[in-house]
Amino acid sequence: MSELPSREARITYYRCAAAEIDIREWRITMAMLAYPKEPKEITQFRWTQGLQRELYHCRNSFGKMKLAGFHDMYMPPMVLIMTTTALCWDPTGPYVDVKLMPRPKGPPSDLPEGLRKIAVLNQWWTWDENSTDGVPAWWINPGALYREPVMMERQEWDGFITQLTALEEQLMSLQQSEAEEATGHETMLVVMKDLYEKIK
């Protein structure tokens, strides 16, 4: 492994964290552009939960900047507002008050293609508010207590995915067996009905 001089390595690490912040700036701006002017209560809860998740990623990126040894934090406008003016506290920790978030004057700046591919993943502000298909539990029940994402080692994650895949295969197999059993039962009823028609 080639080694960079310490300062150059720290600068690279800082710039990578700043790129992560640019992704959050894009996402927060898009979310607030999509926020209704007269939102329903459930919509307020959903945006609060969604912004809370963006805040989680910002915190991680801020930590990387600090770890790199630079005192100045890179904070574009919407990230700055979300982490200062709109940031509130309760006994469980910080949260974002969506009512304190401004509506952006226009769309966010374009991102490089590599960053945009990440930014457009899981655009929660575009999800159907009346659907429960393919959306996480926090979107369906946004009033529930916010739970931060769980960080785990890659090896543990791979093991979890393997177990989850095996469970899904078992469930699919069970559903298929039940469907075949139901089909067989229906076929038997048809045969019995035909036989009854012949002998009556």
The predicted model gives 24-48 an average pLDDT of 94
Amino acid, single-letter form, for residue 23: I
Query: What pLDDT does 4 receive?
Result: 58
57 confidence band (pLDDT: 50, 70, 90): very high
190 confidence band (pLDDT: 50, 70, 90): low
Residues above pLDDT 90, as percent of the chain: 52
Identify the residue with better confidence: 57 or 70: 57
200 has a pLDDT exceeding 60? no
Query: What pLDDT does 124 receive?
Result: 95
How many angstroms separate the CA atoms of 26 and 24, rounded?
A: 5
Tell me the pLDDT tens digit for each residue of 75-98: 999 999 999 999 998 887 888 999
Using a cut of 0.85, tell me whether the model's pTM lies above it.
Answer: no
The predicted model gives 177-190 an average pLDDT of 63
Amino acid, single-letter form, for residue 175: Q
How many angstroms separate the CA atoms of 37 and 99, rounded?
A: 11
Average pLDDT value over all residues in the chain:
83
27 has a pLDDT exceeding 90? yes
- C-alpha dihedral sign at 123, 129, 132, 133: negative
